[in-house]
Amino acid sequence: QVQLVQSGVEVKRPGASAKVSCKASGYTFTNFAITWVRQAPGQGLEWMGWISVFTGDTKYGQKIQGRATMTTDTSTRTAYLELRSLRSDDTAIYFCARENNNGWYFDLWGQGTLVTVSS
Amino acid sequence: SSELTQDPAVSVALGQTVRITCQGDSLRSYSANWYQQKPRQAPLLVIYHTSNRPSGIPDRFSGSSSGNTASLTITGAQAEDEADYYCNSRDSSGDYVFGTGTKVTVL
């Protein structure tokens, strides 16, 4: 079954780090990039960045540049998003999504991971 | 980075037609994609590269574009089409961007 399955809920203190995982199955993992998108409560979708699984190249959005690291482990077919120095406005559902090779659209999504930042 | 602007909310009577628009300068150079998101669910791709429907998406969903505006049309809206809809595209620097989102209510 073609799917992306993400890790579970995280609750963090301000200033801490969070690491969300996204495990792919049912397709050739290295053939597609993975994009990360977040959605704050009651808000719209925010593109965070992408990683080429094949090359490891990354591109980050301006808002999280310097605080986020995207990586992949091809042996376990898993992508990771680490976000550091967490703030309350990082509270959101974090989605991973597969980027189609024909350009900037996302044809397969994970179920989302809620990260709550609270003191 | 670029911005994509959508109307916050639209309503449509059951069985009627509704058009959702997405405006932004980057759309003059790059095509738009559209996603449907229902409460507590991940987004679902419904249109890619302006007017292409992925497998499994009903043909009542269609897309078009002109100048700096992309449009998603639902012809014969069904109750299950009630959702939030987001456009997305990219800009010349390679950043991707989502629209502000439109809540569609089916009356």
pLDDT of residue B18: 98
Nearest CA among A63, A29, A33, A58 for reference residue A47 = A63
Calpha distance A99→A102 (Å, rounded): 8
Interface of A with B (CB under 8 A): 35, 37, 44-47, 50, 59, 61-62, 95, 97, 100, 102-107, 109-112
CB-side neighbour CA atoms (13 Å) of B9: 4
pLDDT of residue B2: 80
The whole-chain average pLDDT of chain A stands at 96
Residue A2 burial by CB count (10 A; 0-12/13-18/19+): exposed, middle or buried? exposed
Reported as a single tens digit per residue, the pLDDT across A3-20 is 999 999 999 999 999 999
Please tell me the distance in Å from A93's CA to the nearest CA on chain B: 10
Please tell me the distance in Å from B96's CA to the nearest CA on chain A: 6
pLDDT of residue B23: 98
For B24, the token pair is 């932004």
Interface of B with A (CB under 8 A): 1, 30-31, 33, 35, 37, 42-45, 48-49, 54, 84, 86, 88-90, 94-101
Q: pLDDT-derived band of residue A71, with 50, 70 and 90 as boundaries? A: very high
- Across the range B30-39, mean pLDDT stands at 97
pLDDT of residue A104: 87
pLDDT of residue B32: 97
In chain B, what percentage of residues exceed pLDDT 70?
Answer: 99
Calpha distance B88→B33 (Å, rounded): 5
- What's B76's DSSP letter? S
Q: Provide the residue count of chain A.
A: 119
For B88, the token pair is 């997305």
- Across the range B15-43, mean pLDDT stands at 97
For A60, the token pair is 């980050």
Q: Which member of A44, A59, A106 has the closest CB to residue B94?
A: A59
Cross-chain residue pair A107–B88, CB shorter than 8 Å = no
pLDDT of residue A66: 92
Radius of gyration of chain B (CA): 13
pLDDT at B1 over 70: no
- Across the range B53-68, mean pLDDT stands at 97
pLDDT of residue A68: 97
Q: Provide the residue count of chain B.
A: 107
For residue A116, give Cα distances in angstroms to A88, B54, B103. Answer: 8, 33, 25
Residue A94 burial by CB count (10 A; 0-12/13-18/19+): exposed, middle or buried? buried
Query: Tokens 């629209």 label which residue?
Result: B99
Calpha distance A107→A100 (Å, rounded): 6
Residue B86, SS3 per DSSP: strand
pLDDT of residue A102: 83
- Identity of the amino acid at B91: D
Calpha distance B97→B26 (Å, rounded): 10
Calpha distance A100→A116 (Å, rounded): 30
Nearest CA among B104, B45, B43 for reference residue B79 = B104
Mean pLDDT lowest for which of A39-43, B6-10, B93-97? Answer: B93-97
pLDDT of residue B76: 98
Reported as a single tens digit per residue, the pLDDT across A97-108 is 999 988 889 999
